[in-house]
Every structure is written in C-alpha cells, then in structure tokens.
Amino acid sequence: MKGVLLCVCLLLGAFLLSAQKVRTKDTVYFTNGTKIIGEVKGIKVGVLTFDPDDANDITVQLRVIKTLAAISKVFRVETIDHRVFFGKMLPMEGNKEALMATDVDSTAIRMEDISVMYPFRNSFKQRFTGSVQLGFDFTRSSELGRLNYDGKLNYKARKEEITFGISGIYTLTDSTLSRDREDMSIKYNYYFGTTWFGTLLLKYQRNLELGLQRRYQEGIGAGNKFITSKHVYAWTRGGFVFNQETSTENVKSGTLPEGFLQLEFNFFRFTKPKISVVLAQAGYYSLSSSGRFRNDGQLDTSWEIIKDLNLTLTFYNNFDSQPPTAESRKFDFGTIFGVSLVIR
C-alpha cells in the first residue's frame, strides 16, 4: 500500500511540475490563427527571436504577430516613442497588441511599436553581454604580420549601463613587436528618465602614427537617446574631458581640458542575412590650446555567418590638428577585417 501511495505522489508531482512548465512558457500568436510555444529571446528592430520547443531558434517579423505572451521571465521593453517598461507581457484579443504588466499597472502596446525587448535578469552575472574579435594578416614579401583585436563587455541594470572596451593593432616581424594603436575605455551611464542620462568615462589611447605614446582621459557629461525606431538606434552625448598626453619623444603635456560631442548610429537588419552597422564619431575642441581640434571615429559592419559568430569589417579614423609631435601626421585611418564571437 505504501508503495502505491509513493508512486501516486511521484506521478502527481511530475504532473504538477509539467503543468507549471507549460504555464510559464511563452507563446506567439500569429495573424493567420496559428501559434507556437517556447521561449522569447528578445525583440530588436521589428524582429522577434524565439526558441520553439524541440526546434532551433527562429526569427519572426512583428507585422505577422497578432499578440504575444511573454511570461517566462521579467522583460525590459523599449518602444519607438521612448517609453520603458519592466514586467511581463500578456496576450490581448485586440489585433496586433499585447498587455505590458508591470509592478505598478498594465499598458496596452502595439506589437510594431516595440523597439527593443530583452530578458531583464535579476542575477548579477546574467546582466553581462559582450563580444571578442580577432584578426591577423601576413605578407611574405615584407615579412610583416599585423594582429588586431577588439573586445567589449556590457552591463545593464534598470537605470545603469557600464561598457568596457579594448582594441589594438600590433605589427610583428621576426624580431620586433610594435604596438601601433591601442584603445581602452570604461563608460558609465545613469538614466534619469527613458532617454536622458548622465555619463562618466575613463580612457587610454596610443597612436604612433599621430606621435602619441599615451593619452589618459577622464570625462563627465550628459546624453540623450534620440532615435529608437525599428531599424535605427541612435544617441548623442557631450561634456568635458581632461587629458594627460605623452608624445613619442617622451614630452609630457600636463592636463589639457577639452569640450566634446559624440554621436552614434546603430543600423540593424535581423532578417537573413543578419547585418548590423555602427557609425560612431566624436569631436574634441581644446579649451587650452588655441585652434586645436581632434576627431576619433569608426564604422563597424558585422555579418552573422552562424549563430553568435560574425564576420566584421571596421574602418577607423583619427585626426589631430596639433599632434603631440610636430613632425607626426595629423590624420590616421585604416581598415580591419576579423571574426567576432558574441558572448551572452
């Protein structure tokens, strides 16, 4: 008798556990009346990434979705009119709408008005994402090799963002290693509302082409996310930075204040082939050296060949009207080809 009771309890427990899993699954309802069950991975620029039960990830355009149940976890949702929500999404009877349920209230949202949606993870380590890129080329005639690397690590909380970046270009010969170009930065953003944020930054730069052995930079400012449409994401920020420079002739500058303005545009295409383009440009005007102007920028193009593995092409540019070494060039540019691995 005890054995029968034990089997019944085990079966009941398994049934309840299975029922709980079913209840916490996400569901996509299509305009043609069909539906799929699984897990919402996220939404970006008009495309939903979804992991169906017993199948590989798929991408679905929002225009063919009638409504959505995203209840497996808490999500962060940004709309094209700059609203931000934290909560779960419930299906609605209305056409192409869903109900965003937060801790405070519920709001109906048109599916095609969602700009960005991704799981908001309560675990500290799960809030990190990043990427690693490597590239190398070698010419036998000159016996020169060039190594390039790029890495990014991002942390996102409800009102805070921290971004760490590192990149470099090295030239190798049989007997020497030249660190031609290096960048390292850490940026902190605190959001006062849905679009406005305060920013702090620390940066290190090296560029032998411009006669710069090293530059340390500290900055403070404010910014705004002014475009969050389905295919474009853009922000700007401005403020003041303070530089300490050392030239390739080992001449130190002291502290040099500058005003700065930065713009970044992100363009996405998440239907196959998945392509993203990021254009970033920053201008610096010296407050201590009359007429000195600097510019740093780059254009990144990424093409996903398989899941989380991308081919990348980068064009970078640097300009300094008064470089640390008088004989150095004022303008530096180049292209970088590599392979990037996305870390989630």
Q: What is the pLDDT of residues 19-63, one digit of tens each?
A: 444 457 899 999 888 999 999 988 876 788 888 987 788 888 888
Per CATH, 25-119 and 125-343 having the same topology is answered no
Q: DSSP label at 288? A: S
pLDDT attached to residue 78 = 86
CA of residue 198 relative to chain centroid, distance: 18
Residue 20 φ then ψ, to 5°: -65, -40
Give the separation between CA 285 and CA 269, rounded to whole angstroms.
35
Q: What is the pLDDT of residues 204-234, one digit of tens each?
A: 999 999 999 999 999 999 999 998 877 788 9
Identify the three-state secondary structure at position 14.
helix
Q: Which of 172-176, 186-190, 340-344 has the highest mean pLDDT?
A: 186-190
pLDDT attached to residue 270 = 63
Identify the three-state secondary structure at position 324.
coil
Q: Go through the chain and tell me how many residues it has.
A: 344
Q: DSSP label at 63? A: G
- Find out whether the peptide bond into 323 is cis, omega within 30 degrees of 0: no
CA distances from 230 to 154, 215, 233, 266, 281 (A): 22, 38, 8, 11, 22
Locate 37 and state its tokens. Answer: 């069950």
Report the phi/psi class of residue 23: left, alpha or beta, with left for phi > 0 and alpha for psi in -120 to 50.
alpha
Residue 228 near residue 114 (C-beta atoms within 8 A): no
Residue 10 near residue 17 (C-beta atoms within 8 A): no
Rounded to two decimals, what is the model's pTM? 0.77
Long-range pairs for 294-297: beta carbons < 8 A, 24 or more residues apart: 294/258, 294/318, 294/319, 294/320, 294/321, 295/319
Q: What is the pLDDT of residues 107-164, one digit of tens each?
A: 999 998 888 888 876 556 667 888 999 988 665 555 678 899 999 999 988 889 999 9
Q: At a CB cut-off of 8 Å and minimum separation 6, what does 114 contact?
A: 43, 62, 77, 78, 79, 80
Q: What is the CA radius of gyration of the chain?
A: 25
Domain covering 25-119: architecture: Roll (2.30)
Predicted confidence (pLDDT) at residue 239 exceeds the cutoff of 70: yes
Residue 29 near residue 68 (C-beta atoms within 8 A): yes
Predicted confidence (pLDDT) at residue 10 exceeds the cutoff of 50: no
Of 307, 250, 312, give the one whose Cα is nearest residue 278. 312
Q: What share of the chain is helix, strand, coil (3-state, %, to 5)?
A: 10, 65, 25
* CATH 3.40.50.1370 describes domain 125-343: no
Question: What is the rounded average pLDDT for all residues in the chain?
Answer: 86
CA distances from 164 to 203, 204, 277, 304 (A): 10, 12, 20, 23
For the chain, give every domain's residue range. 25-119, 125-343
Residue 26 near residue 71 (C-beta atoms within 8 A): yes
